Chain A
Amino acid sequence: MSQIALTIALPFLAAFLLPVIGRVYEALARVLGPLVLLYCLWLVLQLWGTGDGHPVALAMGGFRPPMGITLYVDRLALLFTLLVSLMTLLLWPWQRAADSRECALTLLLAGSASGLALSGDLFNIYVFYELVSVASFGLVAVHRSGAAFVATLRYLVISGFGTVLALTGIALVYSQTGTLNLAQLAQLAPDLLAGPVGLAGFLFMLLGFGVKGELFPVNTWVPEVYATAPARASALLAGLVSKLSLLVVLRLLVLLYQQEQALQLLLLLGVLGVISGELAAWRARDLKRMLAFSSIGQLGAMFIAFSIPGNAGLLAGLALALHHLLVKPALFLLAAGWPGAVERLRGLARGGPLAAGLFVLLALSLIGVPPLPGFWAKMLLVVGLAGQESGYLLALAVVLGAAVLEASYLFRVVAQLYHRDEEAARPRPYLLDLGSAALAGAVLLSAVPFISPLGDWLAGTAAQAGDREGYIITVFPAAGRPLYSAAGGGKPALAAAGPLPEPKP
């Protein structure tokens, strides 16, 4: 099981070696990245197959928690690690494979994203989060266009601000509890983090880690960046990285902050995100910008889902996240072939019927038309919200209203695509882009007959992720030591005596 750490280490290694190899063996440099990612993918699949579904805590370097670096591998983390490798592989910049910088940055992103998914303590999360940020700055600006530079600068400013906030939050938490290990924090949180200082810590960490998750109000970078970055970078950011930020917020909520004020704060920010995102998308005149705003709205809905107490909210949020992860990158890939304002898309369906058809399919799933998977995810959210009191009911009304707006502006685009009066000979989307989008569409359609087993599996995953007691017991079993140690090569470590370390006053 400890081989999971390879999914973090190998991409890093490859990223650092790539520029060097690129100068010597160019052919090898082209395929090194995909090979590494393929191996990581295979590794995760193997671990998944051999595992028994129970969460596992790994201590790196033999240091017991809460001192050392812990990796927590439950179904959710394993799923995300798989998705990281898979998505990065599918969204690999084949077109510009000669540019070793872009490949290196992508590998860096992959490695740090895996690390983010697997981390078991706050500082580790922070470090990997920063690494993801750095990688994404580079990826956004890699095509060196002026607009991209401006957008990256804005992204940098906001991300930097977010970093400061996150660090402050972590510091506040440390000052209250004296530890940064998530499992120990989970044990100490109900007593020590319930006060205003703890909540302030939550606020700061939420805003800090929420930058990538397009949380209102730290999401003003989103439209510019997604509109000017290369399509694959936008797809990776919108599809993958935002979900990792969600994962971090999920861990925070489940383990540290289960109190009502935290949920209310998240609900408020989520509602504001939905409102601002969808309304701005209505007015957008450029397709990629429209998709960016739509993404803000969708992520707002996910935050709303997480703010529902109990496992129902987690399940809804996860379902929405996975659906968005599938659909949004595909939409960005299609949009890459249709640059410019929506008006310029007139009549493009005639030249590219597959692309236009895919757009319609993806739009329908995004809006939530049964029997596509997007409908089931939305249904989970609606059912979860309907049972709560007034604030949640308002959020329900906002989410449903947002769906109406979405249908309206997405089908405005479809109307332009299928406009019959003009024959436009515009460039079609790049074949590989189209292929990846078609793959996404195929996965979407094939998931329809298997909704029920998928739903059950997700429910199990969500239940496992929401099980705070289980988390604590996994990391600190009753004997007071972790189950596996990386240095021991998979054998149980020697029994250690003594209770848990005392928290510093």
Chain B
Amino acid sequence: MTALDNLLLLALLTVLLLLAGRRLSSLGWYLTILFGAQFAGLLMMGALGYGAPPVPSSLHIGVMGQVMQWRFDALSWLFALITVGAGLTSSWYLAGDWGRHYRQRGGNLWLLQLALAVNVFSMLLLLASGDLLSLFIGWELVSWSAFLLMALNGADAMRAALRYITYAMAGAMAMMAGLGLVLHTAGSLQYADLAAAVPTLSSPQLWGLILLFGMGFGVKMGLLPLHLWQARAYSETPGPGASFLGAVSTRMGLWGLILVLVQLVGLVPIADLAIPYTFLDARELLMWVAALTIILPTYTALRQNDARMLLAWHGIGQGGYMLLGVLMGDAMGSAGGLMHAFNYATYQAPLFMAVYAVRYRTGTSDLNRLGGLVTRMPLSFLVMLVGIIGLAGLPPMNGFVSKWLIYRGLINDGQPLLFIAAVVGTFGTILSVYKLIHNTFLGQLRLEHVEVREAPWSMTVPMLLLSAVVFVTGYLPGLVLDWVAAAQQAVGLPVLVHTLGGVESPLGSLDMIWVSSLMFAGFGIGALLFYAGGNRSKAVHQLDNYAGGHFLSADVRYQYSDHFYAGLMRHIGPLYRNSFQWLEGALGTTVETLGAAMRAFYRQHHPAIYLLAVTTAGLIWVIL
């Protein structure tokens, strides 16, 4: 019984205990403890540092002439850490008041908890897959568990979940075709056999492999143009489910792409595939897809008025950064991409949790109906502040380090347009997250929210914990870079040489310990200058405000929140053509029309004549 077996059995045990313990009260706390045990088990497995062999499982199943096996390498470990961590914090969040409130509103709390446990188990199983067949089985299990989580909430959620499952099935079927292709070119579905067969593949076969697996994993990741399902589906999932899905579910697609495209096929054969009539090759094409995935969803997020949709769209955009980093194939860029997966999970989960805490207390997450909550919910404000600094990629949080690595990688690679695209995405993010925090916590406090209190401790503690992780890993990025470097080595990418504070290189160094310390020293000096000489500032009520001579009263709405970037939108508004939605709609209409045609065919009144015609045609075909 290896460490991996123990971990998987523990995850399975969690699912079974949940199935059995439906009537137990405080089931949420048991679930949290079990997730904590899984987390501890993962940590005890060790970080699988440089050169460490993968941890195998003792389970082998032979079927259809293929052998299925499972193992954990450093890449799996990194993603498993994110998975179990996200599961732990999500179940903690829902274990207390939020869960009670959800049940009172008519939700099925037990099913939500079960869905969380099933998701974690299936993701661990996927990450542990040791050959392509077990990969596909794990992939399908993950897809359908995510469907369960998304479909819990009823009408709107079910519609979004149905849209998701159509996309997910399309991706899975593409992957199935890819499996068939692999079987016929490499002879077996083992990783080693595929890697060995890659040099012998012809160009169309290699393209087929890239496109089929790219489509399969890309649907889950939300790569353009397969991203339309994600925002609505994630935002309709109930609270902790949304934070879990956003943190980790999308990253399964990234893991798959890294495994197949980078580790098994290798970036060199992909870069050698030139696209005729252009100066691009396959790797650059994928990098441009990633860059467009950064820009377009981020600017779509800019227009959202619902906080959950805004965050969900950002989730799609940040995935583009990760893929862009990994595809660069050098030490810095790929380290940035891998680290961004970890960082994103750590600041995205508390952001969703903060939004749901506000929703719990005020009943809404509509940005045009909130405001000024900083005085009533200061801890949630702090969490959201840390989250948006991380999401925007500003120092001293960890998002800055991974973005810095990606930018450096792009400069080294000599890709100016992609660099500009990445930075444009960051600026769009800054604009959009400021709108999020301004409309929720700053500005004028509404009359109906004056009595709002801070979220209960069962909800704030996991949020604060994650914010602390964001800050600490930003201050000491070397901690995460150790894991990232081990993953790089496992995948076959060049390993990043790093220190505890960051990176040292003649091309440009980064030492977060110094930078962050000096930033806080600067704040200290600024505070000194500000508060020196006694604090004579007088706190005034929010209605004691400049209003051009008018008297303000509480029923007057004195908040700028709707159409926040009016000037910018006047300029770039016409660029939002909803082309992808049009495309999706056109596809749907085509299927509907064809379906109607087929039904008309089956309803014909005089089949005999038609059959005679068909038989005659058949005869002619036979004779010729």
Contacts and interface: CB of A to CB of B under 8 A. Distances in A.
Interface residues of A, number: 63
SS class, residues of chain B in contact with chain A: helix
A157 B165 contact: no
A452 B594 CA distance: 39
A375 B144 CA distance: 14
B220 to A, nearest CB: 15
A415 B592 contact: no
A424 B85 CA distance: 40
Contact of A283 (B174, B183, B592): B592
A220 B604 contact: yes
A403 B179 contact: no
Given A158-B607, A203-B622, A369 B165 contact: no
A455 interface: yes
A114 B592 CA distance: 41
B64 A379 contact: yes
A404 B169 contact: yes
A281 B596 CA distance: 10
Contact of B136 (A200, A281, A370, A387): A370
A276 interface: yes
B252 to A, nearest CB: 16
A161 B622 CA distance: 20
A220 to B, nearest CB: 5
Contact of A418 (B158, B179, B180, B601): B158
B556 interface: no
B155 A196 contact: no
Interface of B: 61-64, 106, 136-137, 140-141, 144, 151, 154-155, 158-159, 161-162, 165-166, 169-170, 173-174, 176-177, 179-181, 183-184, 591-592, 594-599, 601-604, 607-608, 610-611, 614-615, 618-619, 621-623
A154 interface: yes
A407 interface: yes
Given A157-B608, A387-B184, 15 more contacts: A207-B614, A218-B611, A220-B602, A277-B598, A279-B591, A279-B598, A281-B595, A283-B592, A376-B64, A379-B176, A383-B184, A396-B177, A400-B176, A407-B169, A415-B162
B599 A403 contact: no
Contacts of B62: 452
Contact of B598 (A161, A283, A383, A386): A283
A293 B597 CA distance: 13
Contacts of B177: 382, 386, 396-397, 400
Nearest to B158: A415
Given A404-B173, A455-B64, A370 B601 contact: no
B619 A282 contact: no
A371 B137 contact: yes
A153 B111 CA distance: 49
B245 to A, nearest CB: 18
Interface in A387-427: 387, 396-397, 400-401, 403-405, 407-408, 411-412, 415, 418-421
Contacts of B621: 265
A386 B602 contact: no
A279 B169 contact: no
A301 to B, nearest CB: 13
A370 B140 contact: yes
Nearest to A315: B64
B166 A404 contact: yes
Interface in A184-211: 196, 199-200, 203-204, 207
Interface of A: 154, 157-158, 161, 165, 196, 199-200, 203-204, 207, 217-218, 220-223, 261, 265, 275-277, 279-284, 293, 364, 367, 369-371, 375-376, 378-380, 382-383, 385-387, 396-397, 400-401, 403-405, 407-408, 411-412, 415, 418-421, 451-452, 455
Given A161-B608, A403-B169, A415-B162, A280 B622 contact: no
Contacts of B174: 400
B180 A408 contact: no
Contact of B607 (A157, A199, A371): A157
B64 A280 contact: no
Given A382-B180, A403-B173, A161 B611 contact: yes
B209 to A, nearest CB: 12
Contacts of B591: 279, 282, 405
Nearest to B153: A420
B184 A165 contact: no
13 contacts: A157-B608, A221-B607, A223-B602, A279-B598, A280-B599, A280-B602, A282-B592, A283-B596, A379-B176, A386-B184, A400-B176, A412-B162, A455-B63
Between A154, A261, A369, A380, the greatest number of chain B beta carbons within 10 A of the residue's beta carbon is seen for A369
Contacts of A455: 63-64
A74 B159 CA distance: 49
B147 to A, nearest CB: 8
B203 to A, nearest CB: 16
Nearest to A269: B618
Contacts of B155: 419-421
B114 to A, nearest CB: 14
Contact of A199 (B180, B181, B611, B622): B622
Contacts of B597: 279
Given A283-B596, A379-B176, A400-B173, A203 B619 contact: yes
Given A276-B598, A280-B595, A452 B61 contact: yes
Given A283-B596, A396-B177, A421-B155, A276 B64 contact: no
B122 to A, nearest CB: 11
Given A370-B141, A404-B169, A420 B183 contact: no
Contact of A158 (B151, B180, B611): B611
A287 to B, nearest CB: 15
B154 A420 contact: yes
Contacts of B611: 158, 161, 217-218
A375 B140 contact: yes
A298 to B, nearest CB: 15
A434 B179 CA distance: 37
Given A199-B622, A420-B155, A207 B615 contact: yes
Contacts of B596: 283
A217 B612 CA distance: 11
Contacts of A369: 140, 144
A430 B442 CA distance: 60
B276 to A, nearest CB: 21
Contacts of A367: 169
B162 to A, nearest CB: 6
A218 B592 CA distance: 23
A455 B63 CA distance: 8
A407 B64 contact: no
A401 B594 CA distance: 14
Contacts of A265: 618, 621-622
Contacts of A293: 602
Contacts of A419: 154-155, 158
Q: A-B pairs with the 3 shortest C-beta distances?
A: A386-B180, A283-B595, A400-B173
Given A276-B602, A367-B169, A412-B162, A154 B180 contact: no
Contacts of B151: 415, 418
A200 B602 contact: no
A241 to B, nearest CB: 19
B162 A396 contact: no
B608 A404 contact: no
A280 B165 contact: no
B162 A411 contact: yes
A380 B176 CA distance: 11
Given A396-B180, A411-B162, A261 B622 contact: yes
Between A217, A385, A412, the greatest number of chain B beta carbons within 10 A of the residue's beta carbon is seen for A217
A370 B137 contact: yes
Nearest to B139: A370
A200 B619 contact: yes
Contact of A200 (B166, B183, B622): B622
B154 A404 contact: no
Between B136, B604, B611, the greatest number of chain A beta carbons within 10 A of the residue's beta carbon is seen for B611
